[in-house]
Structures are given as structure tokens and as C-alpha cells.
Amino acid sequence: MKIKAAVVILALSAVIGILHFGLKKNIDYSAMQVFETPHFRVYHSSLADGTKADVENALESAYPRIAGFFSMDGEERTVIVLYPGVEEFQRAYLGHVLSLFYGDWAAGASQEDMVLAASPENPGSEHTYEEILQILVHEYVHSLIYQINEFPNVWLDEGLATFLAGQEGALPSPLPGFAVFQKDDLGAFMDNAGYAVGYSYMEYLDAAYGNEKIILLIRTNDYMAAFGKSAYDVYSEWIRHVETGS
């Protein structure tokens, strides 16, 4: 029994260590170059001048809409950390062990109030240069959502980030049913074309109810408090909107 207990303790310690050193993001800024834009501070190992200009344009051109949505004053610069490639990003974000289980699709993430991503110059096999620029905006939105709710519903979190980053996609047919849509589960989200669905859902909510009510929904996950309607009623409205275009 003592041996089994020791094995369990060692296993748990190993998992905790992996998560700690992967997810703590101990970033050595002193080894990086930095440039600033009006609203962002971008750390990188080495970016061409043209790439710097593209990164600035992607973030700053999206900023007014995002700042307006979240009613931000723009007084602080958000930190963006760009790694030389996908492998370096994943090792920094996930740790050496967990990064072995991820493909090139994982090229960016938010960590509380900062954004980490692979360089657009080396996007890996699953993304393009332009898509990495969109990912920077997407993850920036996630960092702002985190300020509102550290554990938001995945459909609302990913949907709003996709919507404000302009990452519209083709909706699946059939659309996910209400039961699936209510699962706060990344697997269910990914299995049901979640990014395209989330974009469409947030686009509808923004037009029908406005940003303040969406933010209240993200903060509380309470449809009655935010909209005065049940989650099912709002879902049904969205379905009718998609099917009829009105």
C-alpha cells in the first residue's frame, strides 16, 4: 500500500510539474526584442520590418471595434509575445511534454492579460501568415473576456473571439441542437463546427441585443438576467434567424 501511495504521489507531482512549468509562462523578456504600437507591446526574437508593420496593422485596425465593444479606455498596452515558430510557442505555453501531443493547429493562446503565439513568418503546416495575424486578434479578445470571467462558457468565449476577429466560417448543416449547444465542453464545441456556429450566434446577439447584454451574459452565464429570456428562447431566435435570414 505504501508503494502504491508513493507511486500515486509521484505521478501527481509529475502532472502538476508539467502543468506548472508549461502554463506558468515564465517568459524571459530580456532575451527578446520589443516594439510598441499605440495599444500593444510586442515582444519577439526577430521579425522583419514588414512583419512588424503587419502585426501592428492587424491589431490596431481591430482595436477600435473591440475597444468599443468592451467599453475600454485604452490607457494600458497589452503584451503580445511572438515565438519563432509553432514548436517554440507550444513548448512555452504547454511545456515540453504536453506540447508533444499537439499538432500545428495550436499556434496561439491567451494567458490572462497577455497573448502568446507563433510568429506569422513561421506559421506551421496548419495556418498561413494571414491566419496567424487573425489569431493574434482572436486571442486578444480572449484576454479581455478573461478580465470579465475567468471561466466563461466555451461557446460564448470562442464565439465572441471569432466574431470580433472577423473569422466567419461556413455553418454546418444541420445546426447543433440545443442540448449540444448548451454543453460547456470544448470537445462538443470542436465537433460541431463551433467557430462558425459561435461567430453566427454572436453576430446575431450583437445585432439583436447589443454588446452590454452580451458582456453581462458572459459575466453571469444567466440568459434571464442578460436578456430576460431563457437560453432556449434565445437559441430558437437564432435558429429562425439563420433559417429565414431575418
Task: Round the CA-based radius of gyration of the chain to a whole number and report it.
Answer: 20
pLDDT for residue 25: 54
Q: How many domains does the chain have?
A: 2
Q: What is the CATH number of the domain that holds 124?
A: 3.40.30
Domain coverage including residue 166: 154-244
Residues 165 and 89 in one domain: no
Say whether both 126 and 166 belong to one domain.
Answer: no
pLDDT tens for each residue of 9-64: 444 444 444 444 444 456 778 889 999 999 999 999 999 999 999 999 999 999 99
Report the pLDDT value the prediction gives residue 98, as an integer from 0 to 100: 67
137 and 166 belong to one structural domain: no
Per-residue confidence (pLDDT) for residue 104, from 0 to 100: 80
Does residue 210 sit in the same domain as residue 113?
Answer: no
Query: What cell does 185 get?
Result: 465542453
Per-residue cell: 171: 455553418
The whole-model pTM stands at: 0.88
Last-in-domain residue among 115, 148, 181: 148
Contacts 24+ apart (CB under 8 A), 83-89: 83/45, 83/116, 83/117, 83/118, 83/119, 84/45, 84/46, 84/118, 84/119, 84/122, 85/118, 85/119, 85/122, 85/124, 86/118, 86/122, 86/123, 86/124, 88/118, 89/116, 89/117, 89/118
Question: Does 129 lie in the same domain as 9?
Answer: yes
pLDDT at residue 94, rounded to an integer: 82
Same domain for 143 and 224 = no
The domain boundary, picked from 148, 164, 181, lies at 148
Residues 196 and 216 in one domain: yes
**For the chain, which ranges sit under pLDDT 50?**
1-2, 4-24
Are 101 and 40 in a shared domain? yes
106 and 87 within one domain: yes
**Model pLDDT, residue 139:** 97
Query: Last residue of some domain: 148, 183, 207?
Result: 148
